[in-house]
């Protein structure tokens, strides 16, 4: 187990300002023939690479879930006696993950203590966001950059979901989406005919007529995609945009064609995003499961899903 504390105040060295189209080691723009490419050709894909590393963003205060989050971090909130974090670890292990990187902040020592024991062969590495109270998840994602050396799955710390939903998320450049239901809000996306993501939309964007799909906040990223995202994160952090969501970066990059995602549909009856006390009550109605240890020494009961009115 490794613990990495990152201040984030150091700036990456700027790109060489002397580079220009005249001295670059390849032909100048306009001197090469142009080709027509499809969305899937924009980024090299790695279909043979199964992802075994996950990054959990768990630094926030979870203010909308108070008073529960005054005494414990959001990911340790229990849903029917099982914390969000324990469910996540269990799901990752079932899917063959080997490493979990956790960005901590608010009451992060409790997360470290929770993960210290009983995680078996899952490697746990921590990154600390010391400015968690004044920043948002874009900054937490930026701070994790030194720990990311391979393709990985990005997960937020307020999600409960069934393990089998990850089956199609184990390969790079995919994002989990869901058909909209009345309880859902926040960021949505638009898709093309092949379920490729064509646009991100904020929750207050009312001028859109295309069909929208809810983001589940689980993304699988190739290392190539991550390097492009890292560069864009650097621009925002350097400009002082530390209090925004990383979806700002995804929105920009999907729009300019530098990032591509395949949408993977999650059954809306098998996942829930917990932001408020009402969300917690709804999730507890949705998920029923016998508590088991990480090593599976106790008998596990299959989740059941009641029909929601």
Tell me which H or E stretch contains 231: helix 223-238
CATH number of the domain bearing residue 268: 3.90.550.10
- Cis bond upstream, residue 67 (ω within 30): yes
Question: From residue 39, how far is each of 46, 169, 195, 254 by CA, in Å?
Answer: 15, 19, 11, 10
Confidence of residue 211 (pLDDT cuts 50, 70, 90): confident
Does some domain include residue 14? Answer: no
* 32 or 49: which leads in pLDDT: 49
Q: Tens digits of per-residue pLDDT, 142-165? A: 999 999 999 999 999 999 999 999
- Residue whose entry in the numeric block shows the structure tokens 């005494």: 71
Q: Which residues pair with 160 in a beta bridge?
A: 272
Residues 215-220 have a mean pLDDT of: 97
Strand, coil or helix: 4 = strand
Strand 213-221, strand 174-179: pairing: antiparallel
Per-residue pLDDT at 179 exceeds 50: yes
Confidence of residue 202 (pLDDT cuts 50, 70, 90): confident
Which domain, by its residues, includes 234?
49-286
Q: Tens digits of per-residue pLDDT, 38-79? A: 444 444 444 468 999 999 999 999 888 889 889 999 999 999
Total tally of structural domains belonging to the chain: 1
Q: Is the Cβ–Cβ distance between 124 and 100 less than 8 Å?
A: yes
Does some domain include residue 3? Answer: no
Does some domain include residue 295? Answer: no
Q: Which long-range contacts (CB under 8 A, 24 or more apart) does 200-204 make?
A: 200/247, 200/250, 200/251, 200/254, 202/247, 202/251
Among residues of the chain, what percentage have pLDDT more than 90?
A: 61
**DSSP E strand boundaries for 180-289:** 188-191, 197-201, 213-221, 262-265, 271-273
Residues 92-117 have a mean pLDDT of: 95
Q: What pLDDT is attached to residue 19?
A: 37
Q: What pLDDT is attached to residue 52?
A: 97
Confidence of residue 276 (pLDDT cuts 50, 70, 90): confident
Confidence of residue 205 (pLDDT cuts 50, 70, 90): low
> What is the rounded distance in angstroms from the CA atom of residue 131 to the CA atom of residue 137?
11
Mean pLDDT, rounded, of the chain:
81
Q: What pLDDT is attached to residue 118?
A: 62
Does some domain include residue 170? Answer: yes
Q: Tens digits of per-residue pLDDT, 113-148? A: 999 876 678 999 999 999 999 999 999 999 999 999
Confidence of residue 1 (pLDDT cuts 50, 70, 90): low
Does some domain include residue 153? Answer: yes
Does some domain include residue 11? Answer: no
């Amino acid at each position: 187990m490794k613990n990495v504390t990152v201040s984030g105040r150091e700036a990456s060295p700027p790109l060489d300002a002397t580079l220009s189209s005249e001295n670059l080691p390849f032909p100048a723009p306009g001197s090469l023939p142009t080709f027509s490419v499809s969305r899937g050709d924009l980024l090299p894909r790695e279909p043979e690479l199964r992802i075994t590393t996950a990054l959990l963003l768990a630094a926030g205060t979870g203010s909308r879930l108070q008073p529960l989050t005054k005494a414990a971090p959001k990911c340790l909130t229990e849903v029917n006696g099982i914390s969000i974090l324990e469910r996540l670890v269990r799901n990752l292990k079932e899917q063959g993950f080997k490493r979990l990187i956790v960005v901590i902040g608010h009451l992060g020592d409790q997360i470290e203590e929770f993960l210290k024991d009983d995680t078996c062969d899952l490697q746990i590495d921590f990154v600390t966001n010391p400015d968690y109270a004044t920043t948002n998840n874009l900054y937490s994602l930026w701070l994790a950059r030194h720990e990311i050396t391979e393709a990985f799955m990005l997960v937020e710390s307020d999600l409960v979901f069934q393990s089998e939903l990850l089956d199609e998320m184990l390969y790079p450049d995919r994002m989990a989406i869901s058909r909209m239901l009345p309880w859902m809000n926040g960021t949505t996306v638009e898709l093309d005919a092949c379920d490729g993501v064509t646009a991100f939309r904020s929750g207050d964007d009312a001028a859109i007529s295309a069909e929208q799909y809810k983001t589940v906040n689980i993304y699988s990223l190739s290392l190539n995609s991550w390097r492009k995202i890292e560069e864009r994160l650097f621009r925002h952090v350097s400009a002082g945009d530390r209090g925004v969501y990383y979806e700002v970066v995804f929105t920009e990059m999907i729009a300019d064609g530098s990032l591509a995602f395949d949408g993977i549909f999650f059954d809306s009856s098998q996942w829930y995003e917990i932001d408020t006390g009402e969300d917690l009550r709804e999730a507890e109605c949705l998920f029923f499961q016998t508590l088991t240890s990480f090593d599976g020494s106790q008998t596990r009961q299959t989740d059941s899903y009641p029909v929601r009115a």
